Amino acid sequence: MNNIIVGSAGLQNLNKENSVTLGIFVFDSRLRGKGYGKTLVWSSCYLAHNCMNICNFYAGMEKDNIPSLKSFLSCGFKIINENEKYYKVKLNIEELKKPNNIEKVTVETFD
């Protein structure tokens, strides 16, 4: 799996309480279910906390998007709301769980 873009992640709705909404997308459906989603979730939360001091993360997904829900839950997110169509999940940074496929973590910032 060299030199290909697997997916993307983005943060939005940054507010004064150091909270953001996180969205992820694994582009190729053949790559879903292989741990890339949870890697995107975990690394986004880890970087946002270490670089921007973000402490609370939210996400939403359609109920039939089980791979996305599993990616977030495996990183420590909890379901805080659901209706017929959607789940809403939340994570406090203290509850962030590192996936087994991530071994060494290094963060460098540029001033």
Q: Delineate the domains of the chain, giving CATH numbers in brackets.
A: 7-95 (3.40.630.30)
Average pLDDT, integer, range 83-94: 97
pLDDT beyond 70 at 10: yes
pLDDT mean over 103-111: 75
Q: How far apart are CA 107 and CA 64, in angstroms?
A: 34
The pLDDT of residue 1 is 57
Which residue do the tokens 């996400």 mark? 59
Identify the CA nearest to 90 among candidates 56, 53, 40, 46: 56
pLDDT recorded at residue 109 = 72
- Worst-scoring range by mean pLDDT, 5-9, 14-18, 21-25? 14-18
